[in-house]
Amino acid sequence: MPAAATAKQMLENVLAAEKQAMADYKKRAEQAAKFGDKGLATHLETIVEDETGHYEETEKILRGW
């Protein structure tokens, strides 16, 4: 991730990182479900929910910029 020169750019970087984290955890949750590990899949889905919340909060801050 590139260094941020401004606070807004930092938040935009955070937004991109959250989006990537959501995609990565979702993929791992799908893999865990395919493997048959329902507990891990459920845990990873919970993490996706948390990351989604972080993404939405950051997005709200940026909309007010």
Which pTM value belongs to this model? 0.87
Which pLDDT score, from 0 to 100, does residue 30 have? 98
Q: Is residue 1 classed exposed, middle or buried when 0-12, 13-18 and 19+ CB atoms within 10 A define those classes?
A: exposed
In order along its 65 residues, the chain shows pLDDT tens digits of 678 999 999 999 999 999 999 999 999 999 999 999 999 999 999 999 999 999 999 999 999 98
Q: Note whether 58 and 11 are within 8 A (CB).
A: yes
Which pLDDT score, from 0 to 100, does residue 2 have? 72
